[in-house]
């Protein structure tokens, strides 16, 4: 399949929050990787912005340090050409003229694509958007907003209205980097391009879908941010809902941008509102409130498991069980379709785990097929067999990390891996009950465990597919 791209001849990227952690870890290394792979236009510049004063040379040193720490690309002679295209200025405000207005105007008048990348806290989205509009710096520009795009249904609605006051939806790129992962994008390719899977991707054959993103990471380095959000706001209403929509897509007419986005929006409209009492378990790891920056009486969730129901003909009554958490016993990013027991002469004979289609969405991705096979020997005994296809073995191909892939799509105007106003409206609708009085209290769990035992009731008799006991697929 060929993707039509609108590749710019020249680029001016204004990186708001250029001195922050996100820019250092993700955005700047991604831009350097795109440069190294010749995936940027011949003419391009980056203007970094921030609240603090900094000279261009100081900013160049800052970028060099960030790349040394977070980039896998060598800082050889190519670095000097990259550095020569960097500049810095203080952040734009509504109150006064901005020193970069003339330079930006000169570049855009020459046909350069103007991209504003807001690598800033969500509280800064609105004031920066207003300031850019005030100085007429949004005309024909593309604007990238990091997640979370709102922290509640009310704040989302307010921000969405402001953004659409100044921008057309086609100019807005709301990043959810899980949609840019190679493994996530393989979910619909696996299904729509392979007859082996196409007819089993429905409630007739699938008993349960698990979307599992356990993490071993602590939150100490971002405790202040995390304590204001928690696992459910940071991961559930964003990444995990988006991955669920990829699994649950109805078959679009094509995989072009408009058809794929429309199919994703239709799935979100079928999300049933979460039931906090029956379908959600929250947790908080022991010792969380001892971390600097966390309130002693914090009730922030560091773990969430939720059972999502999708009320359409394809998925009616099939539970989508979503789990993520910090300080757990293992790390994975895996989507597993647990299949129903077979009919026929061997129905009820098997004591092994069910058949499953399991897709790792970490790294380049991996597909695992869990099947029932005959155990070698003279008797008819059954065993589980696993066939694996690691997607980094697929030739030819050179994958891009999710952030680099997303930024490349922004430059080309490809919006298929970005969230839309319509999908986020429906995501907040489905999530809203978890923000109300019915929100369950987080249950304590020990670091290095698999979280609260109460979450086991959300999955079927076979339990969590990712459980790290050496008996199940979990090799992410």
Res. 39: pLDDT tops 50:
yes
pTM, two decimal places: 0.89
- Domain containing 288 equals 179-401+420-458
The stretch 445-461 carries a mean pLDDT of 95
Residue whose token pair is 């994958």:
399
- Residues 299, 438: one domain? yes
Give domain status of residue 159, yes or no: no
475 pLDDT tier (thresholds 50, 70, 90)? very low
- Residues 42, 190: one domain? no
Domain count, the chain: 2
State the Cα–Cα distance between residues 240 and 274, nearest whole angstrom.
Answer: 14
Q: DSSP class of residue 80?
A: H
- pLDDT on residue 254: 83
Cα dihedral across residues 272, 275, 278, 283: positive or negative: positive
Compute CA distances 113 → 15, 40, 57, 91, 116, whole Å: 14, 12, 25, 20, 10
- Is residue 323 annotated as involved in ligand binding? no
Give domain status of residue 465, yes or no: no
- Residues 234, 378: one domain? yes
State the Cα–Cα distance between residues 334 and 473, nearest whole angstrom.
Answer: 9
According to DSSP, the residues that pair with 418 across neighbouring strands are 175
- What are the residues whose beta carbons fall under 8 Å from the beta carbon of 454, sequence distance 6 or more? 281, 443
- pLDDT on residue 381: 75
- Residues 247, 101: one domain? no
Compute CA distances 97 → 23, 100, 120, 126, 128, whole Å: 25, 9, 21, 18, 14
* CATH number of the domain where residue 94 is located: 3.40.50.720
- Residues 102, 205: one domain? no
- Residues 233, 188: one domain? yes
Residues 11/45, Cβ–Cβ less than 8 Å: yes
- Is residue 297 annotated as involved in ligand binding? no
- Residues 311, 444: one domain? yes
Three-state DSSP state, 411: helix
Give domain status of residue 5, yes or no: no
- Is residue 134 annotated as involved in ligand binding? no
344 pLDDT tier (thresholds 50, 70, 90)? low
- Residues 220, 84: one domain? no
Q: What is the pLDDT of residues 421-439, one digit of tens each?
A: 999 999 999 999 999 999 9
- pLDDT on residue 474: 41
Give domain status of residue 173, yes or no: no
Q: DSSP class of residue 239?
A: I
470 pLDDT tier (thresholds 50, 70, 90)? very low
Token pair belonging to 290: 């001892």
Res. 471: pLDDT tops 70:
no
- Residues 77, 24: one domain? yes
Give domain status of residue 472, yes or no: no
- Residues 215, 130: one domain? no
Three-state DSSP state, 223: helix
Positions annotated as catalytic residues are 239
The stretch 135-139 carries a mean pLDDT of 92
The stretch 176-199 carries a mean pLDDT of 86
Three-state DSSP state, 343: coil
- Is residue 51 annotated as involved in ligand binding? yes
* Side-chain-side CA neighbours of residue 196 (13 Å): 6
Give domain status of residue 410, yes or no: no
- Residues 19, 116: one domain? yes
Lowest-pLDDT range of 406-415, 450-459, 462-471: 462-471
* CATH number of the domain where residue 245 is located: 3.30.360.10
- pLDDT on residue 130: 96
- Residues 243, 352: one domain? yes
* Side-chain-side CA neighbours of residue 33 (13 Å): 20
- pLDDT on residue 351: 61
The stretch 1-9 carries a mean pLDDT of 59
Query: For the purposes of burial, counting CB atoms within 10 Å of the CB of 433, is it exposed (0-12), middle (13-18) or buried (19 or more)?
Result: middle
Residues 115/142, Cβ–Cβ less than 8 Å: yes
Token pair belonging to 91: 């952040």
State the Cα–Cα distance between residues 398 and 394, nearest whole angstrom.
Answer: 9
Res. 15: pLDDT tops 60:
yes
- Is residue 116 annotated as involved in ligand binding? no
- Is residue 204 annotated as involved in ligand binding? no
- Is residue 408 annotated as involved in ligand binding? no
């Amino acid at each position: 399949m060929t993707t039509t791209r609108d590749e710019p001849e020249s680029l001016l990227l204004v990186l708001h929050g250029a001195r922050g952690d996100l820019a250092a870890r993700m955005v700047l290394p991604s831009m350097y990787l795109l440069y190294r792979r010749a995936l940027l236009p011949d003419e391009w510049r980056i203007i970094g912005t921030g609240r603090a004063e900094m000279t261009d040379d100081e900013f160049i040193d800052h970028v060099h340090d960030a790349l040394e720490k977070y980039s896998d690309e060598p800082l050889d002679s190519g670095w000097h050409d990259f550095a020569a295209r960097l500049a810095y200025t203080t952040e734009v405000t509504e109150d006064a003229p901005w020193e970069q207005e003339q330079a930006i105007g000169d570049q855009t008048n020459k046909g350069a694509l103007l991209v504003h990348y807001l690598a800033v806290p969500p509280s800064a989205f609105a004031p920066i958007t207003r300031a850019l509009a005030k100085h007429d710096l949004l005309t024909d520009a593309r604007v990238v907003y990091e997640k979370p795009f709102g922290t509640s249904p009310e704040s989302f609605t307010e921000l969405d209205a402001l953004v659409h006051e100044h921008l057309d939806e086609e100019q807005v790129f709301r990043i959810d980097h899980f949609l840019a992962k190679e493994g996530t994008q393989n979910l619909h390719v696996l299904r729509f391009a392979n007859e082996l899977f196409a007819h089993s991707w429905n409630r007739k054959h699938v008993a349960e879908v698990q979307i599992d993103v356990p993490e071993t990471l602590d939150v100490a380095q971002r405790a202040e941010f995390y304590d204001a959000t928690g696992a459910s706001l940071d991961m559930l209403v964003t990444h995990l809902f988006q991955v669920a929509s990829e699994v649950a897509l109805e078959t679009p007419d094509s995989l072009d941008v408009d058809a794929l986005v429309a199919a994703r929006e239709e799935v979100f409209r079928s999300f049933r509102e979460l039931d906090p009492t029956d379908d959600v378990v929250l947790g908080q790891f022991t010792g969380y409130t001892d971390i600097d920056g966390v309130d002693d009486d914090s009730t922030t969730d560091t773990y969430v498991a939720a059972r999502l129901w999708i009320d359409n003909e394809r998925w009616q009554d099939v539970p989508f069980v979503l789990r993520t958490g910090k300080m757990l016993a293992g790390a994975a990013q895996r989507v597993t379709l647990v299949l129903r027991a077979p009919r026929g002469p061997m129905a009820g004979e098997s004591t092994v785990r069910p058949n499953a289609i399991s897709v790792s969405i970490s790294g380049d991705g991996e597909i695992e097929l869990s099947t029932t096979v005959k155990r070698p020997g003279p008797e008819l005994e059954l065993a589980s067999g696993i066939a694996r296809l690691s997607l980094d073995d697929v030739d030819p191909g050179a994958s891009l990390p999710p952030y680099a892939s997303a930024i490349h799509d922004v430059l080309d105007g490809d919006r298929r891996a970005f969230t839309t106003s319509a999908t986020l409206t429906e995501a907040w609708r489905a999530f809203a009950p978890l923000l109300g009085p019915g929100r369950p209290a987080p249950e304590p769990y020990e670091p290095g465990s698999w979280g609260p035992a109460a979450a086991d009731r959300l999955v079927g008799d076979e339990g969590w597919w990712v459980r790290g006991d050496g008996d199940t697929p979990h090799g992410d």
